[in-house]
Amino acid sequence: MSFTILVLDDEPWQLSWVTDVATARGGKCVFTDTYENAKSAFDKESPEIVIIDIRIGDVDEPLVGATLTGSAYDPSWIGLRLLRFIRVERNSKATRLLVYTGLDREGIQRIAEDAFSARFFTKFEPVEFQQALISEIKRLDKKATT
């Protein structure tokens, strides 16, 4: 089975193990560390799974969409922009989105899950996150064999 995992994280060493998990199961992993690179990689690679760190720095692009322009939104939460880019601008409903962040905030979790149908994990839950990723890969494998 062939699949692609796209990772947006400005500290990719924290998720280097994702490459091993992907290649062991016939997939590949593409790492990006900026919002612009992640958008380009998404369009080029058409990944089945995207792992997104919320806080990776600032971009000059203006905020759009009611979800992101709310008062609780911090402009440094660039990962939320990528969630919106995938779900709204690219209208990709099939891509599985996994948020993996050091920000443990209920508001971010609600936005990720409710507005963008993403699964949310903090970096304080590495075991749960790894189990969820493997579960998503197995789901892809079942889908490919049916």
To 5 degrees, how large is the angle CA 101–CA 76–CA 63?
115
- Give the range of the structural domain holding residue 41, as residue numbers without chain letter: 4-145
pLDDT digits (tens, 9 = 90+) for 113-141: 998 999 999 989 899 999 999 999 999 98
Domains of the chain: total: 1
Give the model's pLDDT for residue 130.
95
Nearest to 115 by CA among 143, 76, 86: 86
Residue 64, pLDDT above cutoff 90: no
When pLDDT is cut at 50, 70 and 90, the band that residue 71 belongs to is very low
Lowest-confidence region among 57-71, 84-98, 100-114: 57-71
Whichever domain contains 109, its CATH number is 3.40.50.2300
Nearest to 33 by CA among 57, 63, 60: 57
pTM over 0.95: no
In order, the DSSP letters of 31-78 are: EE-SHHHHHHHHHHH--SEEEE-S-S---SSPP-STTTSSTT--TT-H
Bridging pattern class, strands 49-52 and 96-101: parallel
